[in-house]
């Protein structure tokens, strides 16, 4: 009989066919990383291997293999990828980062601590390009000029690159999201993204990380999707050109909790985000003026599975709303929401970043 299964010298098992009987409680399995486990492996000739079936897991939890395992000769042209741990990739780094940020205390709108450096140390592509607060989140959020577009924030501001026509942040291409597949979120992989780490201003006030994942499309209030309607490449293109009322950047949403867990997510494809249809973002910069991120209103917020717009609505201050922002008013009208619940106080702060370092 031809060799149908082979255990390579590096411990990788290859087989032409697994034929698995129904066996509740069996302890022969392949785990989420593709690692094969078996309690008992039997080699020889067995009645259960009739016909052309070369391998079978039988009801007593044993793996039966016809004739033999060949573990001396390698299998040519087969190089399996190594198992990918759940903490790898951009998404895995965000999960790990969340746990690290939870250890930073007394963070508020007047004390940024080491939050920015902790975020940027989590992945070489991570770059904080804005810090927003209760009083400075849209019309009052001013810019700071820096060659290269990166700066250490000491006050609520947004950064723009004086070496690249004053474009928002660095102007570099955002590194694609990865690692979602290790956490049952493969749909977010390969896409551009933006995140915000949120603190409520209390002593142990880290709430978690909001993640916007951009599909590249736009969507209307009535869920009409324009495929390719919003191609996001860099931080500028997250905001520019400004969309009109009733139109939104189509997004997938993930809320990472304060212990490195996925608190909530929505990948239905019906969620939409419009920072503000009154922002009047410069097409080449991504913001209104160096002295004002927005001409009128703006949300660093979303509603899971829903749509928001900082100027004409809908609002984020509803069930499943997260974040904060100026809804058709002044910056200090903003209110922090988490899981739809209003969070008391006005000392909250959001560190906004993406993968464009």
> Tell me: the pLDDT tens digits for 96-121?
999 999 999 999 999 999 999 999 99
For residues 145-150, give the mean pLDDT.
97
Calpha distance 15→1 (Å, rounded):
14
Calpha distance 169→160 (Å, rounded):
5
For residues 115-130, give the mean pLDDT.
98
Query: Has residue 227 got a pLDDT over 80?
Result: yes
Calpha distance 106→67 (Å, rounded):
66
For residues 199-205, give the mean pLDDT.
98
The runs of H, that is alpha helices, within 148-278 are: 236-239
For residues 325-329, give the mean pLDDT.
98
**Exposure of 85 in the CB half-sphere (CA atoms within 13 A):** 6
End-to-end Cα spacing for the chain: 57
Q: How far is CA 150 from the centre of its chain?
A: 22
Question: Tell me, what's the pLDDT at 160?
Answer: 98
Calpha distance 171→98 (Å, rounded):
26
Question: Tell me, what's the pLDDT at 12?
Answer: 55
Considering only 13-27, 39-53, 249-263, which range has the smallest mean pLDDT? 13-27
Question: Tell me, what's the pLDDT at 41?
Answer: 52
C-beta separation of 26 from 57 below 8 A: yes
Question: Tell me, what's the pLDDT at 34?
Answer: 47
Residues with Cβ < 8 Å from 171, sequence gap 6 or more? 149, 161, 164, 234, 235, 236, 356
Q: In this predicted model, which residue has the larger pLDDT, 46 or 236?
A: 236
The residue with tokens 């749909």 is 187
Question: Tell me, what's the pLDDT at 296?
Answer: 97
Query: Has residue 2 got a pLDDT over 80?
Result: no
Calpha distance 228→217 (Å, rounded):
5
Burial class (CB in 10 A: 0-12, 13-18, 19+), 220: middle
116 CB neighbour count, 10 Å cutoff: 20
Query: Has residue 30 got a pLDDT over 60?
Result: no
Q: What sign does the CA torsion over 114, 115, 117, 123 have?
A: positive
Considering only 63-72, 115-124, 154-163, 200-209, which range has the smallest mean pLDDT? 63-72
Considering only 74-83, 177-186, 203-212, 323-332, which range has the smallest mean pLDDT? 74-83
C-beta separation of 127 from 356 below 8 A: yes
Task: Please choose, from the candidates 36, 18, 38, the residue with its C-alpha nearest in 3D space to the C-alpha of residue 28.
Answer: 38
Question: Tell me, what's the pLDDT at 88?
Answer: 83
Calpha distance 74→9 (Å, rounded):
7
Confidence of residue 61 (pLDDT cuts 50, 70, 90): low
Residues with Cβ < 8 Å from 13, sequence gap 6 or more? 5, 6, 7, 36
Residues with Cβ < 8 Å from 131, sequence gap 6 or more? 112, 116, 153, 155, 156, 157, 349, 350, 351, 352
Question: Tell me, what's the pLDDT at 9?
Answer: 55
Calpha distance 128→130 (Å, rounded):
6
Question: Tell me, what's the pLDDT at 82?
Answer: 53
Query: Has residue 164 got a pLDDT over 60?
Result: yes
Query: Has residue 23 got a pLDDT over 50?
Result: no
Residues with Cβ < 8 Å from 77, sequence gap 6 or more? none
Calpha distance 100→87 (Å, rounded):
13
For residues 147-151, give the mean pLDDT.
97
Average pLDDT, the chain: 87
Calpha distance 29→27 (Å, rounded):
6
For residues 284-302, give the mean pLDDT.
98
For residues 65-91, give the mean pLDDT.
57
Question: Tell me, what's the pLDDT at 46?
Answer: 57
Query: Has residue 206 got a pLDDT over 80?
Result: yes
Calpha distance 334→24 (Å, rounded):
54
The one-character DSSP state at 276 is -
For residues 270-289, give the mean pLDDT.
98
96 phi and psi, to 5 degrees? -65, -40
The residue with tokens 């607060």 is 133
Q: How far is CA 153 from the centre of its chain?
A: 23
Query: Has residue 291 got a pLDDT over 70?
Result: yes
């Amino acid at each position: 009989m031809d060799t149908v299964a082979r255990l390579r010298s590096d411990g990788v098992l290859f087989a032409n066919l697994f034929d698995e009987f129904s066996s509740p409680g069996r302890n022969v399995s392949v785990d989420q990383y593709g690692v094969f486990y078996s309690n008992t492996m039997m080699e020889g000739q067995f009645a259960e291997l009739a016909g052309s079936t070369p391998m079978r897991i039988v009801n007593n939890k044993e793996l039966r293999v016809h004739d033999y395992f060949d573990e001396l000769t390698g299998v040519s042209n087969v190089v399996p990828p190594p198992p990918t741990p759940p903490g790898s990739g951009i998404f895995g780094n965000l999960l790990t980062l969340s746990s690290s940020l939870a250890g930073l205390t007394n963070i508020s709108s007047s004390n940024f601590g080491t939050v920015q450096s902790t975020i940027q140390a989590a992945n070489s592509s991570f770059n904080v390009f804005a810090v927003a607060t209760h009083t400075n989140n849209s019309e009052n959020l001013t810019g700071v000029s820096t060659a290269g577009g990166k700066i250490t924030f000491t006050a609520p501001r947004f950064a723009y690159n004086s070496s690249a026509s004053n474009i928002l942040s660095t102007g570099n291409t955002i590194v694609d999201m990865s690692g979602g597949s290790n956490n049952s979120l493969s749909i977010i992989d390969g896409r551009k993204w933006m995140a915000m780490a949120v603190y409520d201003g209390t002593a142990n006030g880290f709430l978690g990380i909001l993640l916007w994942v951009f599909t590249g499309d736009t969507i209307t209030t009535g869920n009409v999707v324009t495929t390719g309607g919003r191609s996001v490449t860099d931080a500028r293109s997250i905001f520019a050109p400004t969309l009109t009322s009733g139109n939104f950047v189509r997004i997938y949403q993930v809320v990472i909790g304060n212990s490195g867990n996925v608190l909530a997510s929505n990948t239905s494809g019906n969620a939409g985000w419009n920072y503000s249809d009154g922002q009047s973002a410069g097409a080449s910069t991504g913001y209104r003026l160096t002295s004002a991120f927005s001409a009128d209103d703006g949300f660093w917020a979303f509603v899971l599975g829903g749509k928001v717009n900082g100027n004409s609505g809908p609002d984020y201050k509803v069930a499943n709303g997260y974040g904060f922002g100026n809804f058709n008013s002044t910056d200090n009208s903003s209110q922090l929401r988490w899981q739809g619940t209003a969070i008391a106080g006005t000392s909250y702060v959001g560190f906004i970043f993406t993968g464009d370092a």
